[in-house]
Amino acid sequence: MRKFKIITRSMSIGLILISLWFISQTPTKIVTHFNGLGTADGRGSRWWLLLMPAIVVVLVELSIGTSRRQRRSNGMGTVNLLTPFESKGIGGIFVIVIITVGIMLQQIGWVH
């Protein structure tokens, strides 16, 4: 459980730090929405870049809570190994972090 918490929370903290760095590098307005053709049709404050990392933090904490409940119900509270659920959770959160960084890069105009 401890490894799972450290890994997932590190990913969410890393995403927040990346987001803060992007905020420091961007103009005051960023793209917040793209239409079906990929054209920007909405703009907003660069602080919107913190919205997706905040959602990832919520998802990480929910997955930690779910893992804790599963471990307790299976009598594995003190076992210091990653369960299959935790391994899948780490992979899923990693994919979400990569997608989020890609979206943020597109919003700030570094990727077209």
Overall average pLDDT of the 78-84 stretch: 81
Specify the pLDDT at position 48. 83
Tell whether the model's pLDDT for residue 111 goes beyond 80.
Answer: no
Structural domains of the chain, count = 1
Specify the pLDDT at position 112. 64
Rounded to whole angstroms, how far apart are CA atoms 53 and 64? 16
Residue 110 vs residue 17, higher pLDDT = 17
Tell whether the model's pLDDT for residue 14 goes beyond 90.
Answer: yes
Q: What are 51-80's pLDDT values in tens digits? A: 889 999 999 999 999 988 888 888 887 777
3-state SS, one letter per residue, for 9-60: HHHHHHHHHHHHHHHHHCCCEEEEEECCCCCEEEEEEHHHHHHHHHHHHHHH
Average pLDDT over the chain, rounded to whole? Answer: 86
Q: List the domain range (segments joined by +) for residue 44.
A: 2-108
Tell whether the model's pLDDT for residue 11 goes beyond 90.
Answer: yes
Beta bridge partners of 45: 29
In the chain, the percentage of residues whose pLDDT exceeds 70 is 97
